[in-house]
Structure 1
């Protein structure tokens, strides 16, 4: 592994999600340039309709949206498509019936559209390598297990599985802290937790350990 700086931080403009389903799009809004952000917000409903996801997004939807705005990225996941066992999970039951055809088609057509998807998991050391050298990271987490040392009292209490996207924006190797933007949080402070705590949330059942590595030009 290459040596990385002891500390790294990307200055992202925080954006709070407006609905209970748009955390993933909100993470993308934080990644985009100012002009791209304005386009997405101005044409929000139109773009959501064109992308076909309505009011529920899967990670593959986010990748197609990043591709639309020409943001270089790579997507890593344990499952290419939808894990059949999720159909028995209360969180996924309704959305799988609605989304399965679209999600399956997008996975099948990803390469055709220049969207890079690879079936494998990413360990924390690799995430730190990417953060240190290349750019931010969008992660799917279980919000019920996501802890922030700063705002834990402000974040809504949840139980069971609650899929939620966040953006990793930096780290401090000496303190073993990971810094991230949580679109659920109202104010613009950067959240933080230990690398070990982040791993618990992002590796939970239901996340498929979905990771989108963003490459800054």
Structure 2
């Protein structure tokens, strides 16, 4: 009985510490993207367990052919991969399928024609394939609550609007430029949100384009980057 009471008090104390803690961070391995197109895959690798990470890395070509995405991954492709590896998740987006106006975005022009059928079919078949998709916007509070519970999230952002406090004045901004050819308007890019700092209202994230480091940006800048036209406000909450 005494042990149960002590364990209960320790649990409550830990929960109070988490609530009061200025910084919350989910520990993740850092995976740097190898090509200009694989930021989504690299983000996914960061949230997979070690065995699944090894398997995906060594069988990526075969799996990408089966999944049909080749070198053009959409958020729905990442959600299907999470399901393939039996990782609980929730994918939220404001557009169910391919946004019709994307055809006017330079970023999407090269691949949209070949991607649209696959992407729309995956959305339509998501329920029967046990892929969790909700068509809705997500506010910052929901993201912070998810992080506070110890889980990361994969987020699609406009790289041109993503300003890291660390990278702005260090060599990793040059690393970023070598990994992604920034377009003048929209540049889709996946990051893994892994924590936050309450004081100063900063989001912590891992950027696959950079070397092993945790980046930081303001809530305001983060919201601007993830809500830019072209992202559909795509976010995948990972429960692992």
Tell me how far apart the structure 1 counterparts of residues 19 and 38 of structure 2 sit (CA, whole Å): 33
For the 8 Å contact 2:105–2:186, the answer to whether it is kept is: no
Alpha-carbon deviations, 1:92-145, whole Å to 9, x = none? 122110101100100000000000101100011111011111510100000011
For the 8 Å contact 1:4–1:133, the answer to whether it is kept is: no
Cα RMSD, aligned residues only: 1.3
Partner of 1:122: 138
Bigger share in helix: 2
Alpha-carbon deviations, 1:171-198, whole Å to 9, x = none? 111121111000001x211111111110
Max Rg structure: 2
Deviation at 1:5, TM superposition (A): 4.8
Structure 2: which 5+ runs fail to align?
1-17
Q: Which 10-residue stretch deviates more, 155-164 or 62-71? A: 155-164
Query: Match of 2:220, SS?
Result: helix
Tell me how far apart the structure 1 counterparts of residues 106 and 56 of structure 2 sit (CA, whole Å): 31
Of 197, 200, 207 in structure 1, the residue corresponding to residue 221 of structure 2 is: 197
Deviation at 1:4, TM superposition (A): 3.9
Partner of 2:205: 180
Alpha-carbon deviations, 1:19-77, whole Å to 9, x = none? 11111110010001111111011111111111110110010000000100111000000
Query: Match of 1:209, SS?
Result: coil
Q: How does 1:50-69 map to 2 (within 5 A)?
A: 50-69=66-85
TM-score, scaled to structure 2: 0.86
Structure 1: which 5+ runs fail to align?
none
Tell me how far apart the structure 2 counterparts of residues 98 and 13 of structure 1 sit (CA, whole Å): 33
